[in-house]
Amino acid sequence: MAGYTPATGDEQAEMLDAIGIDSIDELFAQVPADIRLNRPLDLEDGMSESEVYRFLAGLADTNLDAERIPSFLGAGMYDHYVPAIVDAIIGRSEFLTPYTPYQPEGSQGGLQVMFDFQTAMSEITGLPVSNAGLYEGPSAAASAAYLAMGQTGRTGLVTSRGLHPHSRETLATHAVGFGATLTEVGLDGGLTSGEELEAAVTEDTAAVFLQNPNFLGAVEDITALGEAVKAKGALLVVQVDPMTLGILRPPGECGADIAYGEGQPLGNRLDFGGPSFGFFCAKEEYLRKMPGRIAGETTDVDGRRGFVLTLQTREQHIRREKATSNICTAQALNSLAGMIHLAWLGKEGFVELGELMARRTAYARRLIGGLDGFELLHDAPVVREFAVRSDRPVEELLPLGDESDGPAPKLPVYPLGRDYPEYEDCFLVAITENRSVDEIGWLAHMLEHAQAGWGEHIHDHDEAGEPVANDHDGAVTGAVK
């Protein structure tokens, strides 16, 4: 048992003696007998460090992670390359182990990281105000709704069907508590329908939620859609993929009142969905209504530059039931990882990565959209993710093999059917700088095989475009490590 507890028997006796009691049990006498657990917890006994490691490494080994198969999964979280310096910095005790910086004189490092981060998020979103981070993407949508309702005194929330399904469902969950009503606007050719949007926004609309690029990967014309929103005095709220902002017009330049999003692509591991961070940026006028922590610059008694948590009267520990948010512990370490990644990419690299994704994605989209039995779901512009329609049902398409000898690993693409019954025959393909041309070729190859049926013999094409005979088994097992 590794209890990480230093107190020896002798020391415990000494401490009991100082307190003036005979046993620790006396301290628990204040817990009434009838609600005591008078038996040991029904859990295994503690294990040695090496045993715990082996057990959990064994579980990890059964997962088909992005190092074992080229992953084309996206839907908000992406397999980007996280530079080594991120691990080196966030692993330092000084960042890993403190609490929220309530004592600024002893927390200048963490506070300045927040300040660096706020600046970076303001720069990439084109909005002047940023907080130090929220939990993650979809719950940041709920924070935006709360702000918009407080600001406008209205209760209507309008969402595009192109908004991430997790964000829409999270908004629906919170709407019950907020007393909000939700209206959804459909898609047309992969893009939010301007007509439907105009009809849906009314004098009761607090905010309109769009996503860019939207869930189907399509780049929306936020400025044009925003006109109908502004006309009715509602807030324009845009969920953005931060990694596309190197090349896409930032929400702040498209008239957005609030931009938020999932921060995972910036410096954070996939981690099966978390922890990552959410970001939340807004126009100046919402500064005092922002959710979450905000670091501000100030000076100490001797005139030195320093940083503090500021505008704390917004927050739960001061304002209690009148707070702008209930958030306390958020995702400081994850925001730091995001900041380091952004600094590493830098002004030029951030643009280059966007360009690289757009070009490789264009390549992959043309390749896969041209395969027999597949077509593009829409032809709207995309940056890093696109939607494909398949002749064969998607669930039949995914197993990498005919499954006659048991379940085969699944092709890592995102089936749209659960979230969009109308796109039951469609899936999403996501591209990052980690997905090489060879891997894109492998994906196309697997899709071709799957479409034809695993028993069928199909022809591959060699470099000169000539068909060559192919045996699929080697290709499948070759890619899955």
Contact stretch for other proteins (CB under 8 A) within 163-171, 193-201, 453-461, 468-476: 163-171
Residues 192-251 within binding reach of other proteins (CB under 8 A) = 219, 221, 223, 245-250
Task: Please state the closest distance from residue 234 (CB atom) to other proteins, in A.
Answer: 21
| Angle formed at CA 353 by CA 213 and CA 387, multiple of 5 degrees | 35
| Nearest-approach distance from CB 134 to other proteins, in angstroms | 9
CA distance linking residue 226 with residue 385, whole number of Å: 23
Q: Is the peptide bond before 213 cis (omega within 30 degrees of 0)?
A: yes
Instruction: Record the tokens describing residue 393, joined without a space.
Output: 């049902």
Nearest-approach distance from CB 125 to other proteins, in angstroms: 9
In the numeric block, which tokens belong to residue 402? 């005919």
Residues 80, 264: Cα–Cα separation, whole Å:
9
Q: Among residues 105, 462, 466, 471, which is the contact residue for other proteins, using CB under 8 A? A: 105
Q: Indicate which single residue of 70, 137, 226, 267 sits in contact with other proteins (rule: CB under 8 A).
A: 137
Does residue 139 belong to the site contacting other proteins (CB under 8 A)? yes
Query: Which 311-340 positions form the footprint of other proteins (CB under 8 A)?
Result: 311-313, 315-323, 325-334, 336, 339-340
Contact (CB, 8 A) for 475 and 445: yes
User: Closest distance between other proteins and the C-beta of residue 182, in Å?
Assistant: 12
Task: Compare residues 293 and 378 and give the one whose CB is closer to other proteins.
Answer: 293
Binding to other proteins by residue 393, rule CB under 8 A?
A: no
Contact 79, 434 (CB under 8 A): yes
Q: Does 466 bind other proteins (CB under 8 A)?
A: no
Residue 182 and residue 208: Cα distance in Å, rounded? 10
Calculate the alpha carbon distances from 172 to 8, 163, 169, 176, 480 in Å. Answer: 53, 13, 5, 7, 39
> For the window 429-448, what string marks contact with other proteins as x by the rule CB under 8 A?
----x--xxx----------
Phi/psi of residue 459, each to 5°? -105, 130
Q: Which of 185, 243, 353, 388 binds other proteins (CB under 8 A)?
A: 353
User: Which ranges constitute the DSSP H helices of 390-481?
Assistant: 394-397, 437-452, 472-479
Pick the closer one to other proteins by CB: 188 or 232. Answer: 188
Contacts of 292 (CB under 8 A, 6+ apart): 131, 132, 133, 134, 143, 280, 325, 327, 330
Under the binding rule (CB under 8 A), the answer on residue 7 touching other proteins is yes
Binding test (CB under 8 A) with other proteins, winner from 9, 60, 471, 478: 60
Shortest CB 289 distance to other proteins, Å:
13
Single residue of 70, 110, 156, 267 touching other proteins by CB under 8 A = 110
Q: Closest separation between CB of residue 457 and other proteins, Å? A: 26
Q: Under the phi-then-psi rule, with left for phi > 0, alpha for psi from -120 to 50, and beta for the rest, what region is 2? A: beta
- CA dist 356 and 384 (Å) reads 9
Which has the closest alpha carbon to 420: 186, 183, 211, 201? 186
Q: Is 348 in the site for other proteins (CB under 8 A)?
A: yes
- Quote the CA–CA distance of 299 and 102 in Å, as a whole number: 16
State the nearest-atom distance from the C-beta of 58 to other proteins, in Å: 8
Residue 176 or 469: the one with the smaller Cβ distance to other proteins is: 176
- Show contacts with other proteins in window 254-293 (CB under 8 A): 262, 269-275, 277, 287, 293
Q: Does 464 bind other proteins (CB under 8 A)?
A: no
With CB under 8 A, what is the number of residues at the site for other proteins? 209
Instruction: Decide: is 92 part of the binding site for other proteins (CB under 8 A).
Output: yes
- Binding of other proteins at residue 75 (CB under 8 A)? yes
Determine, following the binding rule CB under 8 A, whether residue 160 of this chain makes contact with other proteins: no
H/E run at residue 240: strand 235-240
The CA distances from residue 469 to 450, 455, 459, in Å, are 16, 14, 5
Cα–Cα distance, 230 to 125 (Å, whole number): 19
State in angstroms the smallest separation of the CB of 167 from other proteins.
8
Nearer to other proteins, 97 or 471 (CB): 97
| Minimum distance, C-beta of residue 196 to other proteins, in the bound complex (Å) | 20
Residue 349 engages other proteins in binding (rule: CB under 8 A): yes
Chain residues 405-434 in contact with other proteins, contact rule CB under 8 A? 407, 409-410, 412, 414, 418, 433
What are φ and ψ of residue 200, in 5° steps?
-80, -30
CA dihedral angle for residue 468, residue 472, residue 474, residue 478, rounded to 10 degrees: 110
Examine residue 155 and tell whether it contacts other proteins (CB under 8 A). no
Q: Please, are residues 276 and 262 in contact by the beta-carbon 8 Å criterion?
A: yes
Out of 154, 161, 178, 266, the residue judged to bind other proteins by CB under 8 A: 178
- Which range of residues in 124-132, 151-159, 190-198, 442-450 is near other proteins by CB under 8 A? 124-132
For residue 65, the one-letter residue type is: D
Residue that is written with structure tokens 């949007």 in the block = 197
CB of 101 to other proteins, least distance (A): 7
